[in-house]
Amino acid sequence: MTALPSQYNEMTDEQVLAAIVRAKATLGDELTILGHHYQRDEVVQFADARGDSLGLSQQAARTTARYIVFCGVYFMAETAAILCQPDQIVMQPAIEAMCPMAAMANDREASKAWSALSAVWGDDLIPITYQNSVAELKAFVGRNGGAVCTSSNADALFRWAFAQKRHILFMPDRWLGTNTALAMGIPPREIGLWDRDSTDAADLAHCRLVVWPGFCYVHSRFSVEDVKAARARYPGALIIVHPESDAAVVARSDATGSTTGIIDYVERAPAGATIVVGTEWHLVHRLGRQFTDRRVVPLRRSSCRTMEMTTIRHLLYVLDGILAGEPRNIISVDGDIATWARVALDRMLRLS
């Protein structure tokens, strides 16, 4: 991890927090800080908008602030850079915070799968990529008539795609694709898994959906054993998991929901209820402190190491750069990649 200049490590937490408050006050409307729900409490408390990746994408497209500081992971800041205006500057406090799942698919490998599947289905095929993907993959999808989706709107995007073509290639999260298709009533035998080393596209001819073999280690860590243990420990509890979880875990839970869906579910639960939540630990912990008249517990403690990379010192580092007139950790996406990725993102935003 890139080291911050020593002055930031020599400051006490109180000094850093006070300096962030001063920087925000000085920059006023010129600055907006976007914070994902999985960020540390100490960081997310400074967010002008807090949300999941869909909500923050919409916020990035809407804000008029000149400086957008994105506390999240790289694909999120990239998305903000694609959606914002040319005179706006997007920065990411911990520039090395990359989502491992986003790194599991690229446009080159996607092109190979696309060619192989097109040889079987002709042009009766459409690509969808999860927002958690690199800009080059979003651009590939945009160029080939497809769209981006998030866990909040995957169902709507799948319906949109199936209204146009009979087959979907979904990347990079196998579980979000699989769980979305199963919830729509597509039988498991019509869901195929792409493996670049061993898949013969002809063997997938009967499938409606082909999913990429990517996964989120934070959510795929939840197991059927975890669900059984939670049911034994908290009789009568409600169990909700994120759709990036294994389909077998989703099937044994009471509900599945995107990050925002999970927050809504906890909010709607009756006072006195116990809700067991299978998602990133920072959010579960925060919900537990927010809703004191019900018990919110994690299905298991599973946190995202890349989301944890952003600290208050990283945040102050980029704010100091803005104040000095030398913005730091700028994220930008240019040329054709930005153009086509925007096409894929705009298709999603129109349907959201």
Closest approach of Cβ 102 to ligand SF4, in Å? 7
The contact set with ligand SF4 (CB under 6 A) reads 38, 73, 99-101, 132, 216-218, 280, 304, 306-307
Dist. CA 3–CA 335, nearest whole Å: 31
Nearer to ligand SF4, 101 or 125 (CB): 101
CA distance between the termini of the chain = 36
Closest approach of Cβ 132 to ligand SF4, in Å? 5
Closest approach of Cβ 133 to ligand SF4, in Å? 10
DSSP lists the bridge partners of residue 147 as 128
Nearer to ligand SF4, 68 or 73 (CB): 73
Q: How many CB atoms lie within 10 A of CB 307?
A: 24
- Let me know: does 71 contact 93? Beta carbons within 8 Å: yes
Nearer to ligand SF4, 110 or 216 (CB): 216
Closest approach of Cβ 245 to ligand SF4, in Å? 11
Closest approach of Cβ 217 to ligand SF4, in Å? 6
Dist. CA 329–CA 97, nearest whole Å: 11
Nearer to ligand SF4, 73 or 168 (CB): 73
Nearer to ligand SF4, 100 or 213 (CB): 100
Nearer to ligand SF4, 82 or 343 (CB): 82
Closest approach of Cβ 218 to ligand SF4, in Å? 4
| Distance (Å) of CA 160 to CA 56, 115, 154, 277, 350 | 22, 22, 10, 30, 11
Helix (H) or strand (E) holding 35: strand 31-36
Dist. CA 98–CA 1, nearest whole Å: 11
Dist. CA 186–CA 328, nearest whole Å: 47
Residue type, 186: I
Residue type, 299: L
